[in-house]
Amino acid sequence: MPKNPPPEQIQRRKERRLARKGRSQAQTQTKLETEATPAVPTGYLIPPMLCKDGSEEMLGTPGYILQQKYDGSRVVLYKEGYNIRFIGRSFKNDFAPMYPELVAEARELPWDRCVLDAELTFFRGETDVFITALATAETKTSYEVRLMVFDIISCDESPDPSKLGLRDRLLYLGSKLSVSGHIRMALTIYDHQQHREHYHRIVSGGGEGVVLKEANSPYLPGERRHWYKVKKTQTAECVVMGVTEGTGVRKETFGALILGQYDEQGILQPVANCSGFTQAELADIHLLIGTIPEETYTHVQKWRSQVQKLIQPVLVVEVEYMDRTNTQKLRFPRFIRFRNDKQPTECRLPTE
């Protein structure tokens, strides 16, 4: 039968355990101070409120507030005392450790606990430029990062201003945020008679567009109600080069149309993967694609693993898109219609 250790040995073991515990706590605190690792429980995550598609005809409608739509990464800011999180819309990423300057300002916000809806955006001067929030330090060097705040979802002030209608929430939020730091209020226009003027100024300066929001609306996480995005758009005719594999409800049809345009050498170059179809359109297009002979585009390899079928260049579609990348790819393309009046060879990349 084992003997009990002497009292002095028990005391030494206790002291060693306390020392290890102290080192662990110190290491945890250091990590919090240097990496801004937050402690917001996973179940506390809130999906941001979403927008419906709007149109320029809505600009100037009484009863709406206009906010600028920034070309960045949507995030929800969580502040719990010293702990900060910037959670992306998909819940896959916490961007806070990558942006210590934003974390430092978030810790100075006038609430001990709050949740804010915002856009993590890069600026060159006063113009927002799209760069992914996961960009490398080298890519981010030439830009200033800002967190443009759209709304307040909750806070620890009593009574809670986040329970007010939108106009009152925004007036409260504007009174609390800096006008010159890294965390700022999004451009907000309350007078409906000024909406059209500000919209044209934003889009003519290269901005993405605006969001019109019902002035008395509540904040409804994850829902598409009361908010309408109005964006500048362009259209283009493209050749259908094939379709990608479908997943989920599209597994039996296809995922997206692979679209291309001809370059100056007459080579068909892919410019977008385009979706935006109803289930009925998916079924009809799937049957149509099945009737067209296959084609091989040996000069393109990047999306080979995603391809369900490549077809001969005989179909032309019209798509709506926001703008082009520096490699001539279409950003945010959306299918509009087939163009039977256009020849595939008319679908050309811009030469400028």
For residue range 161-220, list pLDDT tens digits in order.
888 999 999 999 999 998 889 999 999 999 999 999 999 999 888 888 999 999 999 999
C-alpha R_g of the chain: 26
Range of the domain at 169: 52-231
CA–CA distance, 68 with 46 (Å, rounded to integer) = 22
- Give me the pLDDT at residue 103, please: 97
Shared domain check, 79 and 159: yes
Shared domain check, 148 and 110: yes
Nearest to 298 by CA among 237, 241, 239, 351: 241
Q: Is residue 151 part of a domain?
A: yes
Shared domain check, 205 and 120: yes
Shared domain check, 224 and 120: yes
Shared domain check, 137 and 257: no
- Give me the pLDDT at residue 119, please: 96
Shared domain check, 245 and 212: no
Q: Is residue 333 part of a domain?
A: yes
**End of a domain among 231, 259, 276?**
231
**End of a domain among 196, 231, 266?**
231
Question: Strand 144-155 relative to strand 183-185: parallel, antiparallel, unpaired?
Answer: parallel
Q: Is residue 351 part of a domain?
A: no
Going residue by residue through the chain (352 aa), what tens digit of pLDDT does each one get? 445 555 555 555 554 554 454 444 334 333 333 333 333 444 578 999 999 888 889 999 999 999 999 988 999 999 999 999 999 988 888 999 999 999 999 999 999 999 999 999 999 888 888 888 888 888 888 899 999 999 999 999 988 888 899 999 999 999 999 888 999 999 999 999 999 999 999 988 888 899 999 999 999 999 989 999 998 777 889 999 999 888 877 888 888 899 999 999 999 999 999 987 888 888 899 899 999 999 988 777 655 558 888 999 999 998 988 878 888 999 889 898 888 878 899 899 987 6
Q: Chain-centre distance of CA 216, in angstroms?
A: 25
Nearest to 187 by CA among 237, 128, 132, 136: 128
**End of a domain among 204, 231, 258?**
231
- Give me the pLDDT at residue 37, please: 36
Shared domain check, 184 and 312: no
Shared domain check, 149 and 176: yes
Q: Is residue 22 part of a domain?
A: no
CA–CA distance, 102 with 92 (Å, rounded to integer) = 19
DSSP character for 324?
A: B
Q: Is residue 16 part of a domain?
A: no
- Give me the pLDDT at residue 7, please: 52
Domain total for the chain?
A: 2
Q: What is the CATH number of the domain that holds 225?
A: 3.30.470.30
Shared domain check, 263 and 214: no
pTM of this structure: 0.64
Q: Is residue 339 part of a domain?
A: yes
Which residue in this structure is represented by tokens 């904040």? 219
Shared domain check, 161 and 108: yes
Shared domain check, 226 and 102: yes
- Give me the pLDDT at residue 158, please: 85
Q: What is the CATH number of the domain that holds 253?
A: 2.40.50.140
Which residue in this structure is represented by tokens 């297009």? 285
Q: Is residue 34 part of a domain?
A: no
Shared domain check, 206 and 74: yes
Q: Is residue 30 part of a domain?
A: no
